Amino acid sequence: MTRPPFIGVREDLAVALVRDPAARTRLEVALLYPGLHAVWSYRVANRMHRAGHRFAARLLSQLTRFLTGVEIHPGATIGRRLFIDHGSGVVVGETAEIGDDVTLYHGVTLGGTTWRHVKRHPTVGDRVLVGAGAKLLGPITVGADSVVGAGAVVVHDAPPHSLLLGVPAVARPRSPQDASVHHWVI
């Protein structure tokens, strides 16, 4: 059974207020947050894509990219409460999968590494934070409750509760101090 669309909108507004200390009101978030506009547009485009209206879905996603600076392929799979902070330069590829309660900062790429028609984009687990400018490339998996540092280039799988830093990124267990980075489940 599908949820009524307004439930997702309420969650999206609430999560922006929780994850962005600069957010003041739901109205401000609804009108001025391009990452949120991109997620809302993606939801419409994804439904069109799944219904077989692939050209129209891609057209909507490209219009959204022009307006927001965020490109989310309508074929991607995105969970609940994705928050894209600042938005500009974010790219999410066609076979990418993003779990619930994920935060992406500006300049993040979930990109492919092949031209073949296979699973070629990353899978990001629940409650993952991906820092500004990070690149996750190929059909890798970043486990739940992980943090990807700004500018990291992730090309290998990482288990849950990882901290990924460097080029190429090296996964190491998160310390207790790292665990306080995000407690945002609504």
- DSSP secondary-structure letter at 118? S
In terms of C-beta density within 10 A (0-12 exposed, 13-18 middle, 19 or more buried), how is residue 145 classed? buried
Residue 164 or 179, more confident? 164
What local confidence, expressed as pLDDT, does residue 1 receive? 46
Tell me: pLDDT of 179 over 70: no
Q: What pLDDT digit, counting tens, does each position of 111-141 carry?
A: 999 889 899 999 999 999 999 999 999 999 9
pLDDT band per the 50, 70, 90 thresholds, residue 175 = confident
CB-hemisphere CA count at 13 Å for 185? 9
pLDDT band per the 50, 70, 90 thresholds, residue 180 = low
What local confidence, expressed as pLDDT, does residue 6 receive? 61
Tell me: pLDDT of 70 over 80: yes
Say how many C-beta atoms besides its own lie within 10 A of residue 53's C-beta. 15
Percent of the chain with pLDDT over 70: 91
Q: What pLDDT digit, counting tens, does each position of 24-44 carry?
A: 999 999 999 999 999 999 999
What local confidence, expressed as pLDDT, does residue 127 receive? 96
Q: What pLDDT digit, counting tens, does each position of 4-18 carry?
A: 556 789 999 999 999
Mean pLDDT of the chain: 91
Walk me through the domains of the chain, giving residue ranges and CATH numbers: 5-179 (2.160.10.10)
Say how many C-beta atoms besides its own lie within 10 A of residue 51's C-beta. 10
In terms of C-beta density within 10 A (0-12 exposed, 13-18 middle, 19 or more buried), how is residue 129 classed? buried
